[in-house]
Every structure is written in C-alpha cells, then in structure tokens.
Amino acid sequence: KDILLEVKNLKTYYPIHGGFFRRKIGDVKAVDDISFELRKGETLGLVGESGCGKSTTGRTILRLLDPTEGKVVFNGQDITRLRGTSLRKVRQDFQMIFQDPYASLNPTQMVGDVVSEPIRNFTGKSIKQLKPEVMELLTKVGLPQDAYYKYPHEFSGGQRQRIGIARALALRPKLIIADEPVSALDVSVQSQVLNLLKELQDEFDLTFLFIAHDLSVVKHMSDRIGVMYLGGLVEIAEKKSLYAEPLHPYTQALISAIPEPDPRKKKKRIILEGDVPSPVDPPSGCPFHPRCMHAKPECSQIKPQLKEVKPGHRVACHLYS
C-alpha cells in the first residue's frame, strides 16, 4: 500500500530549566527516536501509558510542536522544517480530534461557527456561504440540523465529540490524529463514536493515527498497532499478529491486562513491578529493563533497536536477536 506519512528517527525533547539562573539543566525526552509509517487509508493505533510520548508524537507530526531531531515526511514531502504559508498549506491535510471536545470547542461560538471556522480561515468564505456545507457535515456526524444554532454546552459529551469530528472533517483532511477521542466518554457512547469514525474513514478516505492508553479501545479500530514505552516504540505489528503473539514483554503485560469478558477463558495477568521511570533520566540500555522479568545482563547496557522478526512485525527487545 502507498505510504502517506513517514516518521523517521523522530525526537522531541522539552528543555528543563532550573536553579537561580534558570539555566537549562536537562531534557524531558518525551519522544526519543521513533520511526514508523502510515499507509493510506489505514488506522494505526498508538498505545502506551500516560507520559509515554504518544500525544507528543501526534503533536509533533502535526507540527504543533517542533521536533528536536528527525523527519516527518507527508505524501512524499519533508514537512519537518516547513514554516509560514507552506506549513499552513500542508496543515489543511491534517486534523486532530482531542480527548476533551469541550475544552477544544469555543463555548461562545455557535456550532455553525465552530464547524465552519477552519474553512473560513483557509478560504475567506463567509459563514452564510458555508451554511449548506456545514449542515451536510452535521448530518454526516449524526447531529440534528438545529444543532447549527446551538452552543457546545447544550450537548452531551458524545455529541460534543461529534461536533469536534465535524470540525475536523471540514477541510477534507487526509490524515486525522485522534488523541484518546473516546476516553472521556461513557462506555455506552464510546462504541457509537468509534463506529462513526470507522464509517467516516471509508466515506472520506481518511488515514487515522489513533492514540489510546490501553489496548482494548484500539483493538476495535486499528489495522496495525504500535506500542510505546518511555518515548520509544517497542513493538509494531498487524493487529492480529500483535494480539495473537505479542513479542515484547511490555506488550505481553498490556495484553494480559485487557479484561476477559468470558469467565471460562482464564488468563494469567502479568503484573508489572515498579513505576514508569522518568523520561528526564531514562534507564540505560533497554528502558524497560528495571521492570522486565526477562531482563538479561546486556539489557541494562545495550539499547535494543526495533527490528523486524516476522513479516510486518517489529520489536525492540534482546530476546529476539
């Protein structure tokens, strides 16, 4: 399949300042050398505990943050250092859907304003001109026509997320980065929103990077899944392969934590000892070694690289070298 987006050796560090002179004393290595690609029309789930760098990865791809090193190639164009009008132009092709739609919607704007705003910003068309288009978008995301004249606070959480989705679709983007789009919603509403996203994906020819903190939400949505730990990508594979045969000890623990609805199918839960270490001072060697029950002496010394061990299945772990 065609590649839409390539992320190459991406690093995004946040400087930390301290002491009397507020000098730079270190870096938060939020994203520390990750590489992956997104194929046209697929959904890649990006999973990991909070603080693992998945949101920072999404924001860096959209150029809401500047990368420290590495490259982002979109549709064959290196967009890593774009600025000004050229950045604005490629931005039309990307949109983000946020975890908390309410926080990302302006409470003083009517839904008609909210949804048409991205188009107005890019084309200079008026709200009035865009009304038929916005009405159509509202229908597509399952909102009633009178939603146009209402304000975000008049809607439920799930409906607000639909408003956010309509807004994200307004410019007909190619890539949508959805950052935990359903984790703030009631479980009963979650699957409705996920189903809507899947429908819209086909209709609008969208490619998704779908960020989530656990493997149960992405299981439904994703074609492939990447697992992040402490700023790095530790495993990436087709969904089937990842669930059937997780290779990285961290992925194995995440999968064992998914609740099994069928009580007859007993599975052993792998409990991880200790906390996620700080991304300011990550462990030497394999960043997972202090918590890994399979750690070998070399694990604390040599950082494992992401390597393909089966077709389409890559893992960063010394057990497979």
* C-alpha dihedral (237, 243, 244, 246), degrees to nearest 10: 60
| Cβ-contact 212, 45 below 8 angstroms | yes
List the one residue out of 171, 172, 161 whose CA is nearest residue 203.
172
Could you say which residues in the range 280-299 bind ligand SF4, by CB under 6 A?
286, 288-289, 292, 294-296, 299
* Count of positions (residues) in the chain: 321
Pair of tokens at residue 244: 């059937």
Residue 288 near which of Mg ion, ligand SF4, none (CB within 5-8 Å, type-dependent): ligand SF4
Of the two residues 167 and 289, which places its CB atom closer to ligand SF4 in the complex?
289
- Under rule CB under 6 A, residue 318 binds ligand SF4: yes
**HSE-up (13 A, CA, CB side) for residue 118:** 23
Of the two residues 213 and 318, which places its CB atom closer to ligand SF4 in the complex?
318
Query: CB 272 → Mg ion: shortest distance, Å?
Result: 19
Residue 292 near which of Mg ion, ligand SF4, none (CB within 5-8 Å, type-dependent): ligand SF4
| Cβ-contact 44, 208 below 8 angstroms | yes
Pair of tokens at residue 46: 């990006």
Of the two residues 158 and 249, which places its CB atom closer to ligand SF4 in the complex?
249
**Contact residues for 83 (Cβ-Cβ < 8 A; gap 6+):** none
- Under rule CB under 6 A, residue 232 binds ligand SF4: no
- Under rule CB under 5 A, residue 55 binds Mg ion: yes
Residue 97 near which of Mg ion, ligand SF4, none (CB within 5-8 Å, type-dependent): none
| Cβ-contact 227, 271 below 8 angstroms | no
DSSP letters spanning 171-193: T--SEEEEESTTTTS-HHHHHHH
Query: CB 241 → ligand SF4: shortest distance, Å?
Result: 18
- Under rule CB under 6 A, residue 270 binds ligand SF4: no
Residue 319 near which of Mg ion, ligand SF4, none (CB within 5-8 Å, type-dependent): ligand SF4
DSSP state of 224: E
- Under rule CB under 6 A, residue 317 binds ligand SF4: yes
Of the two residues 115 and 228, which places its CB atom closer to Mg ion in the complex?
228
Residue 90 near which of ligand SF4, Mg ion, none (CB within 5-8 Å, type-dependent): none
DSSP state of 276: P
Q: What is the three-class DSSP state of 318?
A: helix
Maximum alpha-carbon separation in the chain:
67
Residue 182 near which of ligand SF4, Mg ion, none (CB within 5-8 Å, type-dependent): none
- Under rule CB under 5 A, residue 56 binds Mg ion: no
Of the two residues 7 and 247, which places its CB atom closer to Mg ion in the complex?
7
Which residues of this protein are in contact with ligand SF4, per CB under 6 A? 248-249, 286, 288-289, 292, 294-296, 299, 304, 317-319
Which residues of this protein are in contact with Mg ion, per CB under 5 A? 55
